[in-house]
Amino acid sequence: LVRILLTSKNTLQKTPFGFSLIEMLITLSIIAILTLTALPSYQRHISTSKRHHAKIALLQLANRLEIYHGIHHTYQNAKPNELGLDPLSRDLAYQLKIKQADTTHYLIQAIPNSQQSKHDSACGSLSLSNTGKRMISGSGNIQQCWGR
């Protein structure tokens, strides 16, 4: 685009209006660099957030297992639909599972789906026992994966 101006001598003068190709390329390069630097941090944050939701779901499942034990005096034969497992695992990046349940003990697990396991391989599956023992299947630090 060109802007036409009248000078003091009433002659037409053309002045450039808009951005040059170099200016556009520099701007796009800066945007690309900022995106490439921010994307891994964003993915890490999303992965941590999904893990946090899985921890909450595991703790809620543990609570429901304790209620079941209070009524039936055993953890054995606790069915996921009786415990309301479906609402807990809805929109979760993990699959909740009762790995082991007998009269006095249980072990529940949150297994990451394929996408989550790629971004959070250090923690892997999260496990919780009836004694409150927290475990992970990955090679990471339990404190970092489970928090406090």
Q: Which phi and psi angles does 133 have, rounded to 5°? A: -70, 130
List pLDDT tens digits, range 71-130: 999 999 998 888 888 887 788 999 999 999 999 999 999 999 988 988 888 999 999 999
- Amino acid at site 105: H
Question: Element (H or E) spanning 126, and its range?
Answer: strand 126-129
Q: Where are the beta strands (DSSP E) in 8-86?
A: 12-16
Question: 31-84 pLDDT, tens per residue?
Answer: 999 999 999 899 989 999 999 999 999 999 999 999 999 999 999 999 888 888
Residue bearing tokens 């009433």: 10
What are the distances in angstroms from CA 72 to CA 9, 13, 108, 125, 130? 100, 92, 18, 29, 16
Q: Name the residue with higher pLDDT: 15 or 143.
A: 143
Higher pLDDT, 86 or 142: 142
| Partners of residue 93 on adjacent β-strands | none
The pTM score is 0.75
At residue 18, the pLDDT reads 72
Q: What angle do CA 43, 107, 133 make, to 5 degrees?
A: 75
